[in-house]
Structure 1
Amino acid sequence: MKLPKLQQHKELKHAVDAKELYRSLGLNTAHWAKWHARNIDSNEFAIKGTDYQGFTQWVNGNKTQNYLLSIEFAKKLAMQVKTEMGERVRNYFLECERRMSPSITQQPAVALPQNYIEALEAHLQAVKEKTALEHQLQISQPKIDFHDTVAASSVLVTISDVAKKLNMSAQALNVKLIELGVYDKRRLPKKVFNHWFLQKSYGQMKLTKQGRDRNLITQAGQIYIIDLISEQMKLVSGKEAV
């Protein structure tokens, strides 16, 4: 397998050729146009100029679309391909990032205490920081345990179930999910989960006995939605307070 080469780029710093990445992942070259349209052009979590930059090129007399990707974005695309080649490419990018990160010897030196008083103050500050960290961990641990337990569960819940936990109506939650891109806006008014939401195993779409679509949320999806909307509510309430 030939790994994609890194190249210098003014905005992206170290860029990856998208077509080289595509070939390295062992994907069908005939599906390139469909793949880049779905994973790059229509990717709601990819920012043009930060994660990628598009350009056209001529190959064998044919005009084709290509992209330069940031290492971070290229790594995410590789992670979506759940094959051995996808894992190898992902590890390759991780190693590239590790080698490009500043080494320990390049970090600024910490000033050493010059006398007993300074040493005592430094020790006291270290104790304070450790105590504060342990206290924060105690506060966060119940939430961490809850998230781990819920995420491991295979139970599916409805939109109404999630809405109740947020003290919202199912209708209001659906409006939020449309705004956040959980639903495919191109399919409205029919509520169809976006590809990325299904791919992350956040939700499932099933048919009822009457042949109607039913949107169900996995436990991992429930955590994602509750955390995201709760954080959004905090931001809104904070702005109103100001």
Structure 2
Amino acid sequence: MKLPTIQENQDLQQAVDAKELYQSLGLDISNWSRWSAKNIAENPFAVQGVDFLGFVMMTSGNKAQNYLLSIDFAKKLAMQVRTEMGERIRDYFLECERRTQQPVVALPDFTNPALAARAWADEYQAKQIAQEQLAEAQPKINFHDAVAASRTMMTVSDVAKKIGMTAQELNKKLVDIGAYDKRRLPKKVFGHNFITKGYGVMKLTADGYDRNLLTQSGQIYLIGLFSRARELEAV
């Protein structure tokens, strides 16, 4: 699937064509008008001129409503889809932002040795902090890559270890986001919504017990949700 193009825009600085994003997410093209109205034009948390700009385009001789989206707003819409493609597009936007926001290091005033030394020391310290943050995040990045290359289902305990939590901590978070059927708590049975989204399955063991397992999509979903210090999202 083709990733959406990021274009320069005077008002939004960088923008994404909403219909192109919609198609890249693999959504039903026949539902575009309804989806765009609900999620963009009528979205109570989106501000016209800041998050999006509307415009009319000609398609096969007919007028059609379309929008330009800010990068931040496009990321939110991609994440709402909650598919692997949505995650991929979100990460693509983040990477594009990272590349365009590289800090410009001003040359120090070499006529003042004290200021020059301080400037180089500050730059060195900033690089050290960035390297430490990358090293800290690397195990989670490696795990994400390993999951993406695998089709193996994992237990909640195994996933918890990989993202630096105890099974108890991860299970509590799964309760908080509604992954488990609340009617059957404290038994850990995935809810219908969590299962239908493809995040988890319930398997019957040889001795007749229910066992919850996380699919590849579920593993990636939990990594993205809990390894970036984000607020909890309901499933």
Structure with the larger helix share: 1
> Larger Rg: 1 or 2?
1
TM (norm. structure 2) is 0.45
TM (norm. structure 1) is 0.44
